[in-house]
A = this chain, B = another copy of it.
Amino acid sequence: MQRWNGWGDASIDYPLPETARLYLQEALGSGPTLHDAKLGETLVQMQTSTWAKPVSGISTDAESRLRCSYGQSLPDWLQRRFGQCQYATDAVATPESETELRELIRIGRQRNARVIPFGGGTSVAGHFAPADDSRPSLTIDLRKLCRLLEFRADDRLALVEAGCSGPLLEAQLARHGYTLGHFPQSFEYSTVGGWIATRSSGQQSHLYGRIEQLFAGGAAITAEHDIECQPFPASSAGPDLKHLLLGSEGRLGVIHQAWLRVRPKPESEKFLALFFPDWQQAITGARLLAQSDLPFSMLRLSNSLETDINLRMAGHTRAIYYLRKFLRWRLGSNQPCLMLLGLTGEAKQVRNMLAQAMAILKPLSVQNTGETIGQAWRKNRFRNVYLRNTLWSLGYAIDTVETALPWSQVTPAMQAIEQVAREQFAAEQERVLAYSHLSHVYASGCSVYSTFVFRLSEDYQHNLARWRKLKTAVTDTIQAHGGTLSHQHGVGKDHLPWLGKELGEGGSQLLRHLIKAGDPDGLFANGNLI
Contact = CB atoms under 8 A, between A and B. Distances in A.
A284 to B, nearest CB: 10
Contacts of A331: none
A68 interface: no
Interface in A464-513: 482-491, 495, 499, 502-507, 509-511, 513
A195 to B, nearest CB: 10
Interface string A224-238: 111111111111111
Contacts of A212: 240
Contacts of A484: 230, 232, 234-237
Nearest to A479: B230
A422 interface: no
Interface residues of A, number: 87
Given A238-B249, A506-B226, A445 B155 contact: yes
A491 B249 CA distance: 29
A231 B444 contact: yes
A82 interface: no
Interface in A400-459: 404-408, 440, 442-447
A490 to B, nearest CB: 5
B247 A240 contact: yes
Contacts of A511: 238-239, 241
A245 to B, nearest CB: 8
Among A198, A293, A444, which residue has the most Cβ atoms of chain B within 10 A? A444
A248 interface: yes
Interface stretch (A12-20, A108-116, A199-207, A366-374): A199-207
A504 B244 CA distance: 15
B155 A235 contact: no
Interface stretch (A23-31, A313-321, A514-522): A514-522
A263 interface: yes
Instruction: Please tell me how many copies of the chain the complex holds.
Output: 2
A459 to B, nearest CB: 32
Nearest to A502: B237
Contacts of A240: 199, 212, 243, 246-247
A210 interface: yes
Contacts of A226: 504-506
B487 A236 contact: yes
A293 B408 CA distance: 29
A437 to B, nearest CB: 16
Given A212-B240, A238-B511, A514-B517, 16 more contacts: A152-B406, A152-B408, A154-B407, A156-B291, A222-B510, A224-B509, A228-B506, A228-B507, A233-B442, A236-B484, A237-B495, A238-B247, A244-B510, A510-B518, A516-B517, A517-B517
Interface of A: 152, 154-157, 198-201, 207, 210, 212, 216, 222, 224-241, 243-249, 261, 263, 287, 291, 293, 295, 345, 349, 352, 404-408, 440, 442-447, 482-491, 495, 499, 502-507, 509-511, 513-514, 516-518, 529
